[in-house]
Structure 1
Amino acid sequence: MDKIITPILIFIFWTGFAQQPDQFITRQGQASFFSYTSVENIQASNNQILSIIDISKKEIAISMLMRAFVFQKSLMEEHFNESYIESDIFPKATFEGSIQDFDPSNTDIQTKIVKGTLTIHGVNKETEIKTKIENTAEGYIFSGDFEVEIKDYDIKVPPILVRNIAKTISVTFRFEYQPYER
């Protein structure tokens, strides 16, 4: 009897640890944005972004504190948080979506569309983001860039400053995911 039970227990033990985790997390995802204008370029970065992916469900969720964006000039940061994004009222931007046609077992670099809802300034908008996905020994790396139209998120720019703020903001991101341990 022990000759049958021992191999079964070894198989259960081995397969339980050999399975790939389904959920991966990053607590220090990185995003930056750039706004070109003829008066002055505006650039900021945020490296405190929380994101989790569930590869079995092909789902992703991202949350970032807007006050965590760092600017070269403190006055830009103040205007961003108080006048445009209104961080006291809308402290976070979020994204929830799904990774289209994603194959988690593929070890090659994949370029996939991530479809979902991007929420900025309290406004939800369906968005598609082209994302480069790397399957690494430690987890996954998601990176890419996309454009955000400020009018789509009800961000008001005073008429006197319209020339100082671009209508389209370029966003770049990179998230390095590790297995999520509960």
Structure 2
Amino acid sequence: MKQAYLLICLCLFNIHAHAQDILISKNAAVSFFSSTVMEDIEGKSNTASSVINAKSREIIFKVSNTSFQFKKKLMQEHFNENYMESDRFPFSKFSGKITDDIDLSKDGNYTVNVEGSLDIHGVAKPYQCKVNLVIAQGNITAKTTFKVKIEDHQIKVPSLVFKNIAEFVDVRLSAVYQPKKT
């Protein structure tokens, strides 16, 4: 009987330890900014989801394309209907890994390299960027900014509005991760 109890305790401990390796952000922020002489365009979403596996240092970031908000309603319509084709490609996603050897359970401020695949508009491309991490009491705050060339993801810009949209878009990600609750 004692052996069965010990086995159950070990299994529960293992499940709990594994859950501590998973950190989740349910309301991550994603924004992008395009600046040209003609017009600035900015879209923001605070409903992205992200997960980090602290043990393997793998990271996934996913945002619904229709969740982006713009200053002008017409910009939002054009973004979803003409550029992102959100009905065909409802999500943008990043899957990658922190390449630096870092202990994500150790408090501190770190700048780490992340490499992975960014899938926008149904086209996945390799990306790498530097991410600022603040680790405090089991929570992780992550922030990064990187450039995306819209042509790389086969996003078509009509010649009529070509001067209104920049060739490169600045993308900003920000997330606060907490340990997954068991």
Q: Under a length normalisation based on structure 2, what TM-score does the superposition of the two structures give? A: 0.88
How far 1:138 moved relative to its partner? 4.7
SS in 2 for 1:67: helix
How far 1:137 moved relative to its partner? 1.9
How far 1:107 moved relative to its partner? 1.7
SS in 2 for 1:47: strand
Task: Check if 1:75 corresponds to 2:77.
Answer: no
Residue 22 of structure 1: aligned partner:
21
- Which amino acid is the alignment partner of residue 45 of structure 1? K
Residue 86 of structure 2: aligned partner:
87
Residue 144 of structure 1: aligned partner:
144
Structure 1 portions without partners, runs of 5+: 1-8
SS in 2 for 1:71: coil
- Which stretches of structure 1, 4 residues or more, deviate above 2 A after TM superposition? 16-20
Residue 175 of structure 1: aligned partner:
175
CA distance in structure 1 between the partners assigned to 2:62 and 2:173 by the alignment: 13
Residue 52 of structure 1: aligned partner:
51
How far 1:63 moved relative to its partner? 1.0
How far 1:104 moved relative to its partner? 1.5
* Structure with larger Rg: 1
How far 1:162 moved relative to its partner? 0.8
CA distance in structure 2 between the partners assigned to 1:149 and 1:121 by the alignment: 12
CA distance in structure 2 between the partners assigned to 1:49 and 1:123 by the alignment: 19
**Offset from partner CA, 1:113-151 (integer Å, 9 cap, x none):** 110010000000011021011112251111110000001
SS in 2 for 1:146: strand
- The two structures, once aligned, show a CA RMSD in angstroms of 2.2
Map 1:101-116 onto structure 2 (within 5 A): 101=100, 102-116=102-116
Structure 2 portions without partners, runs of 5+: 1-5
Map 1:7-46 onto structure 2 (within 5 A): 16=13, 21-46=20-45
